[in-house]
């Protein structure tokens, strides 16, 4: 899995690849009085640039973390947000929106990908 801090996403439905930079992660209670975790990214493709904030429901994150025996922390939330941003770019869905929210099912799907990736990393370490 690539770093959630800087990565490429795409191609989008128009064939463009977007370069993505992590800007920040914050609890949205202080920003929008929302019980969520917001992860903001800057996207550029050629001369075009966009800002996207992936807003994830904190209660959904807590429930997902309990089921997956993990902790809600910044890297985990950022990796979930990265996967949602990739999905948005590749599908073209909600690209006109600056604030996007993954569904509970989408978050569960992204967690499954993370779990497989983490298991692979553990196997690599053990085999050395």
pLDDT band at 114 (very low <50, low <70, confident <90, very high): confident
What's the CA gap between 61 and 58, in Å, rounded? 5
pLDDT per position as a tens digit, 26-65: 987 766 678 999 999 999 999 999 999 999 999 999 999 9
Q: Where are the chain's structural domains?
A: 6-120
Q: Is the pTM of this model over 0.85?
A: yes
HSE value, Cβ hemisphere, 13 Å, CA-based, for 41: 31
Percent of the chain with pLDDT over 90: 73
Asked if pLDDT for residue 119 goes beyond 70, the answer is no
Evaluated on CA atoms 2, 37, 72, 91, the torsion sign reads negative
Average pLDDT for 69-75: 90
Asked if pLDDT for residue 126 goes beyond 80, the answer is no
What's the CA gap between 105 and 76, in Å, rounded? 17
């Amino acid at each position: 899995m690539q770093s959630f801090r800087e990565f490429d996403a795409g191609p989008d439905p128009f064939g463009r690849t977007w370069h993505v930079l992590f800007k920040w992660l914050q609890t949205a209670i202080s920003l929008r009085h929302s019980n969520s975790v917001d992860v903001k990214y800057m996207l550029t493709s050629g001369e075009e640039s966009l800002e996207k904030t992936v807003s994830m429901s904190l209660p959904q994150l807590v429930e997902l973390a309990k089921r997956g025996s993990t902790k809600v922390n910044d890297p985990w939330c950022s990796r979930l947000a990265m996967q949602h941003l990739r999905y948005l770019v590749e599908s073209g869905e909600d690209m006109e929106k600056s604030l996007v929210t993954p569904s509970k099912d989408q978050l569960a799907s992204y967690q499954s990908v993370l779990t497989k990736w983490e298991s692979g990393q553990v196997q690599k370490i053990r085999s050395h």
